[in-house]
Chains A and B, each alone.
Chain A
Amino acid sequence: MNLPFKIILEKRTDDVPKWLPVATAFGSVVIAFIISGIVLKIIGGDPIRVLKFFFSATFGSWPVFSDTLVKATPLIMVGLACSVAFKMKLWNIGAEGQFYIGAFAASLVVLIPMVDLETTPKFIVIGLMIIMGMIGGAIWGFFPGYLKAKYKVNEIITTLMLNYIALYWNNFWIFDKWSDAGFQMTPQFNKVAWLPRLSDLAKEYKAFSGITLHLGLVFGIIAAIIIWWILERSHWGYQIKLIGDNPKAARYAGLNISRNLILVMMLSGALAGLAGMSEVSGVVHRLQERISPGYGFTGIIVAWLAKLNPFAVILVSILFGALIVAGREIQPSGLASLLQGIILFMVISSDVFLRYKIRVIRTEQTEQETA
């Protein structure tokens, strides 16, 4: 190979310009679409038509956009859950389990029932479900946090394993205790336990009929604002970042690392638990076996793609919500997963641009040197 120039990677010594991470994230998504298009072309499809269909099926009209947002809602909360933990370099990959336990704990309000569902006002039932959901998730985050703080047990293993425990714990109750006529689901919740939807307003506003968007999205946005405030403005957020960047310096500065480990795992779990609550109360209206198509794991990708920025988590969640909706509409359905995978791959590789400068140099001089 005798190219007239050569590309070299040079370690960055200056600050990364602010726009660059945003640009590389966008670029990664665009390139992922292009690569998927090429794959489609090879297998004999029509990429342009598929792309058009992708957008019309996810952003094309209010009802489909609402579907996209409904799928984005749990992703926002789970993405925030992962972002908070990852900021401290705490690798919580148990958001899925925390999601399930959150859903379970929130359902208890209805299934036990903890309050009289006929007479208690809606906002109290919903409020109680939110609290229960977050406590459930927080408990599921507490165990790995405590084990790591006390016995240095690797949180990746414990959080992963607790996912399965959560799943089968739920199944036990769904199959054995609260099964609806032998089906793998509980009876439908009393309407008082349903999160308000836009379609509830269809009588007054015609346009809202059939729009399934529910209040959970607002929870997600509020959670993003609070998490942003915690991370960027509060003492606690500063401590989280300091521990994440250099635990030795954090200890030297007098921080209590063990306590923060546990608290951050609990906050992360609580956010994932809230997502579980929002899903049972806003979408499925019952506890059942497969309430999550892997939101907890997609949340990891969302957090990473958003570079742990809470507001970026919202945008990325909408993109991934669209991918989930499109996956249902497009044949073959694996295409959406393919796209997801390529996006993640691109984002991780695009870090090269943040860490290195790419320089193109002519090879003539260097050849003289080596000659």
Chain B
Amino acid sequence: MTSSPPPHAVEMKDIVIRFPGVLANDHVNLTLKHGEIHALLGENGAGKNTLMNALSGLYKPVAGTIKVHGETVSFNSPKDAIAKGIGMVHQHFMLVPTQTVTENILLGLNEPKFFMNLTKYDQKIRDLQDQFGLRVDPTANIWQLSVGEQQRVEILKVLYRGADILIMDEPTAVLAPQEIDDLMNTMHTMTEQGKSIIFISHKLHEVTTVADRLTVLRRGIATAEGISIEGLTGEKLAELMVGRKVIFSVQKKEQEPGDVVLDVRGVSAENNKGVKALNNLSLNVREGEILGIAGVAGNGQSELAEVITGLRACEGSILVNGEDVANQEPAKAIASGVAHVPEDRTGVGSAPNMSITENTIMKNYREAPIGSRWSINFTEARNHARELKEAYDILAPNVRTMARKLSGGNLQKVILAREITTQPKLMVAMQPTRGLDVGAIESIQRLLLAQRETGTAILLISEELDELLTLSDRIAVLYEGKVMGIVDAKDADINEIGLMMTGQRSNA
């Protein structure tokens, strides 16, 4: 008995999780050894969070078993998972800004019982800090702390609850480079003291620096299960993440691009956290051309779309048909002929409680025959919406149906229909097919290609490399706010693109 090796910290076997219409995890295995850092990679929507939510007790798998320290478990709530020593460090902090570090750590626990003897707990937390090297003043209020310190509080919270298996959800996404180094040191200290860590990340170089083994998910399937990080090349990693193959039935026509429509020159911008997201970036798109933007999420794609459409301030100039639209209101970009298919369909691209009709006229409600000087002719608007519903094959009971009742694919068709109606010179499409089923993906892609044939310049931002290769004329690879290189889609080498996505220039 004693000779048998100690059980693994976590063993997830053949996990299947289904959501309506989606197989989020398809027989996924994940083994976390004692004292290791195990990286979990994958694009948005690949099923990483679903898998981790199963481990932390939020979802129940349809099939498969979960063993923690060799013991089969079945979690009904996150509480059960915490009791087994599983703690999640969330990407978005869940802290009360006006309370102190100690108060936040104690929040939700049954102690202190009645008297708020906080100094005693301050000391307990200091001891915990010494053990793991997580410096932060227990008496400070959360709002006074830097983002990195707030994250340490989140980690302390989990450790205080006695977790020995930590799930860290993209912990580096919000940190500055120096803070990232500190975090990695902390992670090593924790594993030395017997903790085991699952590290979720998008950033390949961090994974290779800190992790021991990794698992890669792609569309709910594990493309790599616990392979060792040793000897793993950037090429191999990129291939595992973006995959290849998938035969698309859409075919693009050969055509010569025309004049330059969009000319982005030396643009820099900050993201919402105040960190530089675009770094002196330049690119251009021509008439009847699709420029694909490839890159791992969070390398400046959202910010690029936003500066062009007037939703974000920036430095540098953005010319659309020779007119500078940088740092103008969105109305200016719209007037210059810029259409925008936003990343967030429900949060930005549509008004959820308004009808299909009202959503389709968002950009042309002033124009005849729908709009007159002051008013809107809703009979015309409904006719317009009905025509679009017919032409774009939008499945809904009628045009009075509210936008929030539409499926993702149908909502995306409403948005595309609206944007195409404006007869744009330039269309910025961000992740237009994310989260859609195969049929919807194909129809959206056909619409984009049809738009290309009418001479619109299209900037297509996507995390699906297959999609970019199928649709684009050229592909620019974004890495940390810079264009790493631009390749012709015809003779693009997927490995080269993969390398650029990880921040390495090709030697060729």
B369 to chain A, nearest CB (A): 14
A256 contacts chain B at the CB level, 8 A cutoff: yes
B12 to chain A, nearest CB (A): 28
A123 contacts chain B at the CB level, 8 A cutoff: no
Q: How far is the CA of A229 from the CA of B349 in the complex (A)?
A: 27
A15-B400, A254-B330 known; A233+B378 contact, CB < 8 A: yes
Q: A248 contacts B329, CB within 8 Å?
A: no
* A-contacting 9-mer, from B78-86, B139-147, B357-365: B357-365
Q: B402 contacts A254, CB within 8 Å?
A: no
Q: B350 contacts A249, CB within 8 Å?
A: yes
B330, B366, B371, B397: the one contacting A251 at CB < 8 Å is B330
Interface string of B353-393 (1 = CB under 8 A from A): 11000100111011000010011101000000000000000
Contacts of A235 in B (CB 8 A): 365-366, 371, 374-376
Q: How far is the CA of A7 from the CA of B88 in the complex (A)?
A: 36
Q: How far is the CA of A236 from the CA of B309 in the complex (A)?
A: 23
A253 contacts chain B at the CB level, 8 A cutoff: yes
Q: How far is the CA of A24 from the CA of B361 in the complex (A)?
A: 32
B340, B378, B402: the one contacting A252 at CB < 8 Å is B340
Q: A13 contacts B342, CB within 8 Å?
A: no
A13-B405, A235-B365, A256-B329 known; A249+B378 contact, CB < 8 A: no
B316 contacts chain A at the CB level, 8 A cutoff: no
Interface string of B314-347 (1 = CB under 8 A from A): 0000000000000001110111000010101001
B348, B358, B362, B375: the one contacting A248 at CB < 8 Å is B348
Q: How far is the CA of A13 from the CA of B361 in the complex (A)?
A: 24
B91 contacts chain A at the CB level, 8 A cutoff: no
B351 contacts chain A at the CB level, 8 A cutoff: yes
Interface string of B282-321 (1 = CB under 8 A from A): 0000000000000000000000000001110000000000
A13-B405, A254-B330 known; A234+B348 contact, CB < 8 A: no
A241 contacts chain B at the CB level, 8 A cutoff: yes
A15-B400, A15-B402, A234-B374 known; A249+B358 contact, CB < 8 A: no
B363 to chain A, nearest CB (A): 6
B189 contacts chain A at the CB level, 8 A cutoff: no
Q: A234 contacts B375, CB within 8 Å?
A: yes
Contacts of A242 in B (CB 8 A): 351, 354, 358, 362
Q: How far is the CA of A254 from the CA of B348 in the complex (A)?
A: 12
Contacts of A241 in B (CB 8 A): 351, 354, 358
Contacts of B378 in A (CB 8 A): 233
Closest to B377 in A: A233
Q: How far is the CA of A172 from the CA of B334 in the complex (A)?
A: 51
B424 to chain A, nearest CB (A): 13
Q: How far is the CA of A241 from the CA of B403 in the complex (A)?
A: 14
A240 to chain B, nearest CB (A): 12
Closest to A229 in B: B375
A246 contacts chain B at the CB level, 8 A cutoff: yes
Contacts of B375 in A (CB 8 A): 229, 233-235
Q: How far is the CA of A13 from the CA of B404 in the complex (A)?
A: 10
Q: B349 contacts A252, CB within 8 Å?
A: yes
A26 contacts chain B at the CB level, 8 A cutoff: no
B391 to chain A, nearest CB (A): 21
Which of A14, A234, A238 is the most central at the interface, judged by chain B CB atoms within 10 Å of its CB?
Answer: A238
Name B256-304 residues within 8 Å CB distance of A.
none
Closest to A12 in B: B405
Interface string of B448-464 (1 = CB under 8 A from A): 00000000000000000
Contacts of B329 in A (CB 8 A): 254, 256
B191 contacts chain A at the CB level, 8 A cutoff: no
Contacts of B347 in A (CB 8 A): 246, 248-249
Contacts of A252 in B (CB 8 A): 309, 311, 330, 340, 342, 348-349
Q: B371 contacts A254, CB within 8 Å?
A: no
A15, A238, A248, A253: the one contacting B401 at CB < 8 Å is A15
Q: How far is the CA of A242 from the CA of B348 in the complex (A)?
A: 11
A263 to chain B, nearest CB (A): 14
A245 contacts chain B at the CB level, 8 A cutoff: yes
Contacts of B340 in A (CB 8 A): 252
A246, A254, A255: the one contacting B350 at CB < 8 Å is A246
B352 contacts chain A at the CB level, 8 A cutoff: yes
B348, B349, B351, B374: the one contacting A245 at CB < 8 Å is B351
Q: B376 contacts A246, CB within 8 Å?
A: no
A248-B347, A253-B363 known; A233+B354 contact, CB < 8 A: no
Q: How far is the CA of A264 from the CA of B405 in the complex (A)?
A: 29
B323 to chain A, nearest CB (A): 16
A15-B402, A234-B376, A235-B374 known; A246+B330 contact, CB < 8 A: no
Contacts of A249 in B (CB 8 A): 347-351, 362
Q: How far is the CA of A254 from the CA of B330 in the complex (A)?
A: 5
Contacts of A255 in B (CB 8 A): 331
Contacts of B344 in A (CB 8 A): 248
B374 to chain A, nearest CB (A): 5
A347 to chain B, nearest CB (A): 19
Given contacts A238-B365, A249-B362, 8 further A-B contacts (CB under 8 A): A15-B397, A234-B375, A235-B375, A241-B354, A242-B351, A252-B340, A254-B330, A254-B335
Write the residues of chain A forming the contact surface with B, with a CB cutoff of 8 angstroms: 13-15, 229, 233-236, 238, 241-242, 245-246, 248-256
The 9 closest A-B pairs by CB, nearest first: A254-B331, A245-B351, A253-B362, A246-B351, A254-B330, A254-B334, A248-B348, A233-B375, A245-B353
- 27 pairs from A and B in contact (CB 8 Å cutoff): A14-B405, A15-B401, A229-B375, A233-B376, A233-B378, A234-B374, A235-B365, A235-B375, A235-B376, A236-B374, A238-B358, A238-B376, A241-B354, A242-B351, A242-B362, A245-B351, A245-B353, A246-B347, A246-B352, A249-B348, A249-B351, A251-B330, A252-B348, A253-B363, A254-B330, A254-B331, A256-B331
